[in-house]
């Protein structure tokens, strides 16, 4: 399909940045505001996890249909309809007072903003090959970096002023900006020859089957935090049911006259390696985004508003990292130095937090780790994005399918990271809780001294008869907080070793490439024998 050229370069750049900014802003806001939202709509964590699963399933379906929706509606209508659905879902979330209302609103949001990232990347390729295209990539990445940083900051500001609903009302602004910029940047040129009046039945059937398979996998991942230790067989069976559903989607996709995803053209080594790196990075991203709030709130006892400000300030390092990359990449395009820098930042994050102690100064100890984590995200994801699609840009359909698969993979990777972090927290915290409980026997002098001190304190501030019970409750809370802290530290120690392993792989690949280049050069210089 021939690209629809933009009317104005400035409006197109702004649209690309607004799409990625709006997507990552809402992701960060919803993740940060989960606890107050659950309390306000009377939802349990298990029920709220279903909302997250439904959002991801609908997002995967919309991403899969992205190409055919473009061919059916054209770029301007598609982006404006998406912005309208995004705004409607956002307003619905702000008005919701029940779990059902919030869930329906999140589904509407997914219908709108699920394809924002894919659309932004494809619009970049509508810019003819030139330095302007790299400028478009810079706007895309800057929107992403600022969205990641502003999500928790917006959530913290909303909680500190009028409540979590304010954050959703503020998101109407990027929705309006996207709709207005699409009106100016994209046109309604005559439909390309391949444009269809409607999505074929085979395409819709394939999307429904894909969503069903995705629901099984994502539901199993979301439920691991609640049922893994009690019903692991049930979760395994649910995940296994996704295999025949996935095979059915593969069959329908191959038989379709216009398949949703052309997988055959994507079977290239560079692309597959890039997807492996993307998948690993998304798992780490999902796990870290789960663990860092647990560390700040539950382990260190920081109020939610303060935690949001610290997370947002730490994420600003991603903006600085992107600015550095934008200056360096045109002159030094080789990916190895950026991978070394990204995984080194991740290893420093794990090392800094893995040795955290009680009473540590947040600004001196935790903030540097948050900065390193944000630098890792931008350095690795941006570098991988620059390298993965290099051989796929000759055909717009292939390039679109490649980005669709990558963005669908992100939904699974982040969900897997959240499940992994939840399981590690439960496992390691329980182990440390048992060990701490065994070390504090009833005859322990330290325990008795603490109980006596707390009993005297509560006797002076509460009912003296209830003071001993309140002292025991306080000791139990301190014990649970200490166990949570130690469990989180175990995770970051493991993260440090994971990053070190990635660095070894990067160095090994660099060494092997150097040796291979020398061998090829020596072979080329050998004299030809008669």
Q: Residues 450-488: pLDDT tens digits?
A: 666 777 776 777 767 777 777 767 767 777 878 888 899
Beta-carbon contacts of 308 under 8 Å, excluding residues fewer than 6 positions away, are: 32, 152, 153, 155, 156, 157, 159
Is residue 196 over pLDDT 60?
no
Nearest to 115, CA basis, from 58, 157, 167, 49 = 58
DSSP 128: P
CA dihedral defined by 523, 528, 529, 530, rounded to 10 degrees? 160
Q: Calculate mean pLDDT across residues 288-312.
A: 88
Confidence category of residue 443, pLDDT binned at 50, 70, 90: low
Q: Over the Cα atoms of the chain, what is R_g?
A: 25
What's the whole-number average pLDDT of the chain?
85
Q: Calculate mean pLDDT across residues 287-295.
A: 91
**pTM score above 0.85:** yes
Q: What is the pLDDT of residue 210?
A: 92
pLDDT tens-place string over residues 310-343: 999 999 999 999 899 988 988 888 899 999 999 9
C-alpha to C-alpha distance for 468 and 437, rounded to whole angstroms: 18
Decide if 55 contacts 106 (C-beta within 8 A). Answer: yes
Please work out, in degrees rounded to the nearest 5, the angle formed at the alpha carbon of residue 151 by the alpha carbons of 146 and 154.
110
**CA distances, 32 to each of 14, 154, 167 (Å):** 26, 9, 11
* E strands in 231-305: none
Q: What is the pLDDT of residue 444?
A: 64
Nearest to 136, CA basis, from 161, 115, 119, 159 = 119
Which helix (DSSP H) or strand (DSSP E) does residue 369 occupy?
helix 367-388
Is residue 530 over pLDDT 60?
no
Report helix, strand and coil shares of the chain as percent, to nearest 5. Answer: 85, 0, 15
C-alpha to C-alpha distance for 157 and 161, rounded to whole angstroms: 6
C-alpha to C-alpha distance for 450 and 215, rounded to whole angstroms: 49
**Paired tokens of 492:** 């970051």
DSSP 529: P
Q: Which residue has the higher pLDDT, 127 or 17?
A: 17
Centroid of chain to Cα 313: 18
Is 530 exposed, middle or buried, given 0-12, 13-18 or 19+ CB atoms closer than 10 A?
Answer: exposed
Confidence category of residue 368, pLDDT binned at 50, 70, 90: very high
Nearest to 62, CA basis, from 210, 279, 200 = 210
DSSP H helical segments within 33-115, as ranges? 34-40, 45-64, 66-73, 75-95, 99-113
C-alpha to C-alpha distance for 88 and 91, rounded to whole angstroms: 5
Angle of helix 396-439 relative to helix 66-73, nearest 10 degrees, comes to: 140
DSSP 459: H
Decide if 401 contacts 1 (C-beta within 8 A). Answer: no
Beta-carbon contacts of 46 under 8 Å, excluding residues fewer than 6 positions away, are: 223, 226
Q: Calculate mean pLDDT across residues 273-295.
A: 92
Cα within 13 Å of Cα(44), Cβ side: 5
User: Is 468 strand, coil or helix?
Assistant: helix
Decide if 417 contacts 303 (C-beta within 8 A). Answer: no
C-alpha to C-alpha distance for 58 and 73, rounded to whole angstroms: 19
SS3 labels along 165-195: HHHHHHCHHHHHHHHHHHHHHCCCCCCCCCC
Nearest to 407, CA basis, from 64, 82, 123 = 64
Q: What is the pLDDT of residue 9?
A: 80
């Amino acid at each position: 399909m021939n690209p629809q050229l933009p009317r104005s370069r400035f409006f197109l750049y702004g649209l690309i940045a607004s799409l990625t900014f709006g997507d990552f802003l809402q992701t960060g806001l919803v993740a940060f505001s989960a606890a107050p939202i659950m309390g306000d709509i009377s939802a349990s964590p298990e029920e709220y996890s279903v909302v997250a699963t439904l959002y991801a399933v609908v997002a995967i379906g919309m991403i899969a249909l992205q190409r055919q929706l473009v061919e059916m509606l054209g770029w301007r209508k598609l982006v404006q309809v998406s912005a309208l659905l995004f705004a409607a879902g956002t307003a619905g979330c702000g008005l919701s007072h029940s779990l059902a209302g919030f869930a329906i609103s999140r589904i509407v949001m997914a219908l709108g903003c699920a394809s924002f990232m894919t659309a932004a990347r494809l619009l970049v390729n509508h810019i003819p090959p030139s330095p302007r295209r790299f400028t478009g990539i810079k706007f895309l990445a800057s929107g992403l970096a600022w969205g990641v940083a502003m999500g928790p900051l917006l959530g913290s500001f909303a909680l500190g002023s009028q409540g979590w609903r304010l954050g959703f009302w503020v998101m109407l602004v990027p929705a309006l900006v996207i709709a207005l910029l699409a009106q100016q940047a994209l046109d309604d040129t005559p439909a390309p020859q391949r444009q269809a009046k409607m999505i074929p039945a085979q395409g819709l059937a394939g999307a429904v089957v894909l969503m069903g398979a995705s629901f099984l996998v994502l539901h199993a991942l979301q439920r691991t935090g609640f049922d893994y230790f009690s019903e692991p067989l049930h979760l395994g069976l649910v995940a296994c049911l996704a295999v025949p559903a996935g095979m059915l989607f593969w069959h329908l996709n191959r038989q379709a006259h216009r398949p949703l995803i052309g997988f055959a053209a994507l079977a290239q080594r560079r692309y597959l390696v890039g997807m492996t790196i993307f998948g690993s990075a998304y798992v780490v991203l999902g796990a870290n985004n789960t663990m860092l709030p647990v560390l700040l709130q539950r382990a260190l006892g920081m109020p939610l508003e303060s935690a949001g400000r610290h997370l947002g300030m730490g994420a600003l390092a991603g903006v600085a990292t992107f600015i550095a990359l934008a200056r360096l990449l045109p002159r030094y395009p080789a990916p190895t130095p950026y991978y070394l820098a990204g995984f080194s930042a991740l290893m420093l994050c794990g090392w800094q937090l893995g040795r955290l102690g009680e009473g540590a100064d947040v600004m001196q100890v935790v903030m540097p780790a948050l900065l390193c984590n944000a630098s890792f995200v931008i350095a690795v994801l941006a570098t991988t994005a620059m390298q993965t699609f290099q051989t796929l840009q000759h055909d717009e359909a292939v390039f679109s399918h490649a980005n669709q698969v990558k963005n669908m993979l992100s939904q699974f990777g982040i969900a897997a990271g959240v499940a992994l972090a939840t399981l590690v927290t439960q496992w390691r915290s329980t182990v440390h809780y048992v060990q701490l409980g065994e070390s504090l026997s009833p005859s322990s002098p330290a325990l008795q001294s603490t109980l006596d001190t707390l009993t005297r304190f509560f006797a002076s501030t509460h009912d003296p008869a209830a003071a001993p019970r309140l002292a025991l409750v306080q000791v139990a809370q301190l014990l649970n907080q200490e166990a949570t802290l130690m469990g989180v530290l175990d995770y970051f120690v493991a993260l440090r070793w994971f990053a070190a392993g990635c660095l070894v792989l990067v160095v090994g690949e660099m060494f092997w490439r150097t040796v291979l280049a020398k061998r090829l050069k020596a072979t080329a210089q050998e004299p030809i024998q008669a």
